[in-house]
Amino acid sequence: MTYSSKFSLALYRKMVLIRQFEERVKYLFLEGVMPGTIHQSQGQEAVPVGVCAALKEGDVITGTHRPHGQAIARGLTVESMMHELFGKADGCCRGKGGSMHMGDLERGMLPAIAIVGGGVPIATGIALAFRLRKEPRVAVCFTGDGGVNEGAFHEGVNMGAIWSLPVVYVIENNLYAASTPVSQAVKLKKLSDRAGGYGIPGVTIDGNDVLAVYETAHEAVTRARDGGGPTLIDAVTYRITGHSRRDPCNYQPEEERKEALQREPIRRFAERLLAEGLATQAQLDEIHLAVDAEIEDAVESAKAAPDPKPEDALDDVFA
Amino acid sequence: MAQMTIAEALREALREEMIRDERVFCIGEDIGIRGGWGGAFTVTLGLEKVARERVIDTPISENGLFGVALGAAIMGLRPVADVQYGDFLFNAMDQVANHIAKIRYMSGGKIKVPLVMRAPVGATGRGAQHAQNLEATFLTIPGIKIVCPATAYDAKGLLKAAIRDDSPVLMFEHKLLYGSKGARSESGAVDASSDIPDEDYVVSIGKGIVRREGADVTIVGTLLMMHLALQAADRLAQEGISAEVIDPRSLVPFDWELLEESVRKTSRLVVVAEGPKTGGIGSEIAATVSERMMDYLTAPIQRVASPDIPVPFSPVMENFYRPDVDRICGAARKTIGD
Ligand SMILES: Cc1ncc(C[n+]2csc(CCOP(=O)(O)OP(=O)(O)O)c2C)c(N)n1
Ligand SMILES: [Mg+2]
């Protein structure tokens, strides 16, 4: 497949936006100005960007405890996210969610679910609603490689399968669940082999190749929308930052990390765009500058935004 | 004698018990991974040096791992199973509530379940799913003992007692009290370290302790709230109010004798607990004390707790959620009547 320069640059911009957002947030966090804890997705950008590029308005994703990339890819503004990270009243969850619950249903993302595996049945249920309401919409469930070992994953995927629901299950397989290597938690070599147990298609792909992710997701989403039921996509990637906060990643072998940096999705895609003449270096540089400015604006406005009132905590419990 | 944090004291307790008794093993997520952190709060760091095969890393499968621990316990081993955050006990709830708590009873007392469960609790800027204080939830499930250490001394002694107990024991640990260091340290942490004796000791499950003697009002609380109660007592003293601080240390069984003795003396009671007020620990303690000792009380019992809401993320709202020294002092003053 060949893609237009416009489409390719849009994918590139999203990936850079995620990377720079995460880097800026990491810095703010280490500075101590940002509360809470964070799980970041540097190195994994191609998965949510490729998947969400295959979605239409009205489709809904569920995210994980590592949701920043998923949220940006789905189309949340970095401003609404930055405000949320600072716990501000006008953040995307009004300061009630924070990093681990980033999301905005109006923009097609449920507030992220920080209970590993918890999102799988929920995404299945969202797809059930689409089916019952006869709406041509698709649900996409992001999970980590660790998430596939929760009972909720099994129960949720199985129901999606038996009812042929319009849902796609995407494993952001970064080879580790916190510090635990996937090889120590699953006996299969390929997580997509799990799909056979549910009777649905499954595929393992290079999750650092944004176009490969896009193509696979596009096929799966189209099948789901057309009534063909769920697909399990195992997108293999790598987390080139800590699991959370100041994790030094001593459990990642040095060699493996070095090699992973070679396969890092953004530079790889840049090289491809340049080689195929789909972009000039000047265009890429311009994207980086524009992205940095967008993030800086978000930081400034987040710092200046009003805090919630303490009593606001009492609102929103019931409808 | 050595000064230790709660995380260190728990680690020492596990190490000593694993050496003392080959039936003891740890099971949980990310607890013994090479290059990892020794669990979410470093408690199991390095324990694999005692016995590699007795520090068992599981997939992210809480219901499974608690069930596996139960099976092993029924066969006479002494597992210490943990969740990274107390909230994930809900993932394990079938095994914990339907099986661990009941199998001895259902067997007519023929089966023993020498199983320890460990769960970090407390609101710490992580939002609604990594924050809950679940002590009260488990009060409603007969068959599980519950301990809540506020100091490193108690953490070590209670964990050893729990491991040696033939019934399931659930230990709640507060994230702001661990004293975790380096990359795992917590902002807003309170120092709960103690001098730990060199020799073996246990803290009996079900025995509370008077943390500070006083005459006018009894303040009772566990975990972080015990420390805030002590700070409140300091402040109240400056106003001429003498507060007694009771740390029950165990919630099941509960040291009613100690609390009753204190209330008989002070005639006033404030119960402090992090977590929703409705159906909270405060409710149970207040109900029992009024049932047994109405005649001794000279003021209505005050509960200081969180509002009935999920834990909000934003620090401004989280601070509103978490009971604080001001509110404890206010409640104490109210019992005295000014
Ligand atoms: C039910 C549950 N158990 C444990 C955790 C603690 N935890 C948070 S992230 C994580 C690892 C998740 O691994 P994976 O699914 O591979 O996602 P990744 O972190 O790699 O993105 C764990 C164990 C949790 N949030 N929820
Ligand atoms: Mg992972």
What residue ranges do the domains of chain A occupy? 5-301
Q: Is residue B69 part of a domain?
A: yes
Please spell the DSSP secondary structure of A16-34, one letter per residue. HHHHHHHHHHHHHHHHT-S
Cα(B234)–Cα(B223) distance, integer angstroms: 18
A90 touches chain B (CB under 8 A): no
Nearest Cβ partner for A314 among B29, B128, B307:
B307
Which of B196, B228, B260 is a domain's end point? B196
Whether B99 sits among the annotated catalytic residues: the reply is: no
* Chain B neighbors of A244, CB-CB under 8 A: none
Alpha helices (H) in chain B, listed in sequence order: 6-20, 62-74, 93, 103-106, 135-139, 152-164, 223-238, 256-266, 281-293, 315-321, 325-336
Contacts (Cβ under 8 Å, ≥6 apart) of A315 = none
Specify whether B169 is located in the same domain as B270.
no
Do B177 and B246 share a domain, yes or no?
no
DSSP-assigned beta bridge partners for residue B26: B55, B80
> Which residues between 9 and 38 in chain A have a beta carbon less than 8 angstroms from any beta carbon of chain B?
32, 35-37
Contacts of A252 in chain B (CB under 8 A): 35
pLDDT of residue A69: 98
Q: What is the pLDDT at residue A237? A: 98
Of B171, B196, B221, which marks where a domain is finished?
Answer: B196
In a shared domain, residues B26 and B118: yes
Residues 194-223 of A with CB under 8 A from B: none
Domain A5-301's class?
alpha beta
Spell out which residues of chain A touch residue B35, defining contact as CB-CB under 8 Å. Answer: 179, 249-252
B162 and B95 belong to one structural domain: yes
**Ligand in nearest proximity to the CA of B120:** 1
Pocket test for ligand 1, best of A18, A41, A45, A65 (most atoms within 8 A of CB): A65
Do residues B99 and B40 both lie within one domain?
Answer: yes
Q: Which ligand is nearest to the CA of A149?
A: 1
- Which residues from B are below 8 Å from A32, CB to CB? 187
Query: How many Cβ pairs closer than 8 A exist between chain A and B?
Result: 141
Is residue B182 scored above 80 in pLDDT? no
Nearest CA to ligand 1 atom 9: A178
B124 and B42 assigned to the same domain: yes
The pLDDT-based confidence of B187 (bands split at 50, 70, 90) is confident
CATH number at residue B218: 3.40.50.920
ipTM of the complex: 0.97
Both B240 and B138 in a single domain?
no
State whether B128 and A101 contact (CB < 8 Å).
yes
The reply to whether B123 falls in a domain is yes
Q: Is B204 part of any domain?
A: no
Mutate to test the interface with A, among B314, B318, B321 (most CBs of A within 10 A): B314
Both B16 and B130 in one domain: the answer is: yes
Residue B334 Cα to ligand 1 middle (Å)? 45
Cβ atoms within 10 Å of A27's Cβ, excluding its own: 12
Residue A183, H or E segment:
helix A182-185
Is the residue at B186 inside a domain?
yes
Are A167 and B41 within 8 A, CB to CB? Answer: no
User: pLDDT band for position B188 (50/70/90)?
Assistant: confident
Residues B290 and B257 in one domain: yes
Give the distance (Å) from ligand 1 centre to CA of residue B123: 19
Mean per-residue pLDDT for B267-276? 98
Q: Are residues B214 and B189 part of one domain? A: no
Residue B181: pLDDT band by 50, 70, 90 thresholds?
confident
> Is B203 inside a domain boundary?
no
pTM: 0.97
Per the CB < 8 Å rule, is A35 touching B315?
Answer: yes
Average pLDDT, integer, range B260-283: 98
Q: Which domain holds residue B149?
A: 2-196
- Whether residues B59 and A185 touch (CB distance < 8 A) is answered with yes
Residue B39: exposed, middle, or buried by beta-carbon count in 10 A (0-12, 13-18, 19+)?
A: buried
B-chain residues near A149 (CB < 8 A): 59-61
Structural domain count, chain B: 2
Of A95, A245, A310, which has the smallest distance from its Cβ to B183's Cβ?
A: A245
Question: Same structural domain for residues B190 and B214?
Answer: no
Query: Which residue, by CA, sits nearest to atom 3 of ligand 1?
Result: A116
Among A114, A111, A136, A130, residue whose Cα is nearest residue A61: A111
Considering only the beta carbons, identify the residue of A87, A248, A311 that sits closest to B314: A87
Of B161, B177, B157, give the one whose Cα is nearest residue B169: B161
CA B40 vs. chain centroid, Å, equals 17
Cβ separation B315–A117 shorter than 8 A: no
Digit-coded pLDDT (tens) for B89-129? 999 999 999 999 999 999 999 999 999 999 999 999 999 99
B186 shares its domain with B228: no
Query: Residue type at B173?
Result: E
CB contact under 8 A, B59 and A116: no
Distance A44 CA to ligand 2 centre (A): 10
Inter-CA distances, B130 with A241, B86, B123, B200, Å: 22, 7, 7, 34
- For residue A144, which atom of ligand 1 is closest to its CA? 15
> Judged by CB atoms within 8 Å, which residues 236-275 of A form the interface with B?
245-252
Task: Tell me whether residues A150 and B314 touch, CB distance under 8 A.
Answer: no
Would you state the pLDDT for residue B304? Answer: 98
pLDDT tens profile B306-332: 999 999 999 999 999 999 999 999 999
Length of chain B: 338
In order along its 319 residues, chain A shows pLDDT tens digits of: 789 999 999 999 999 999 999 999 999 998 888 888 899 999 999 999 999 999 999 999 999 999 999 999 999 999 999 999 999 999 999 999 999 999 999 999 999 999 999 999 999 999 999 999 999 999 999 999 999 999 999 999 999 999 999 999 999 999 999 999 999 999 999 999 999 999 999 999 999 999 999 999 999 999 999 999 999 999 999 999 999 978 999 999 999 999 999 999 999 999 999 999 999 999 999 999 999 999 999 999 999 999 999 999 999 999 9
- Confidence at residue A214, expressed as pLDDT on a 0 to 100 scale: 98
Per-window interface: B 292-331 vs A, CB < 8 A = 307-310, 312-321
Nearest Cα residue to atom 6 of ligand 1: B84
Pocket of ligand 1 (CB under 6 A): A 64-66, 114-116, 144-147, 172, 174, 176-178, 243; B 29, 60, 62, 84, 88, 91
How much of chain B is helix, strand and coil, in % rounded to 5? 40, 20, 40
- Helices then strands, counting H and E runs in chain B, come out as 11, 14
Q: Is the pLDDT of residue B204 over 70?
A: yes
Q: Is residue B124 part of a domain?
A: yes
- Write the residue with the smallest CA distance to atom 13 of ligand 1: A177
Q: pLDDT class for B338, splitting at 50, 70, 90?
A: low
Q: Are B200 and A262 a contacting pair, CB within 8 Å? A: no
